[in-house]
Amino acid sequence: QSVLTQPPSASGTPGQRVTISCSGSSSNIGSNTVNWYQQLPGTAPKLLIYSNNQRPSGVPDRFSGSKSGTSASLAISGLRSEDEADYYCAAWDDSLNGVVFGGGTKLTVL
């Protein structure tokens, strides 16, 4: 059971906009920034969004992040087949004094 809660799966068709939610509590998302990772099949995860809504260099602006209260969301617009991957949210947890992850969301591009 992960500390952060994500839907196990999401899907969309090419060109669509999809969102993935990440729910936490006051000790993690409520008081710290959220980061998102993309893991393409058979590869190591890659930083996708940091500090709630910042994109590292090289990440397309189709990817965006937001946070409100104890929840965060990752939005992908103009969905492409190469976006098919697992997506994880993560944040520092003040109670556990460590980083916690969501269980991951498998995105399928139909």
Residues in contact with other proteins by CB under 8 A are 2, 32-33, 35, 37, 44-47, 50-51, 56, 88, 90-92, 96-104
Phi then psi for residue 81, to 5 deg, are -60, -30
Choice between 32 and 71, CB closer to other proteins: 32
Smallest gap from Cβ 11 to other proteins, in A, equals: 19
Smallest gap from Cβ 66 to other proteins, in A, equals: 16
Choice between 63 and 88, CB closer to other proteins: 88
For tokens 């937001």, what's the residue?
Answer: 66
DSSP annotation of 104: -
CA gap 101, 110 in Å, rounded:
26
Choice between 24 and 104, CB closer to other proteins: 104
Beta strands 34-39; 85-93: pairing state: antiparallel
Identify residue 31 by its one-letter amino acid code: S
Smallest gap from Cβ 77 to other proteins, in A, equals: 22
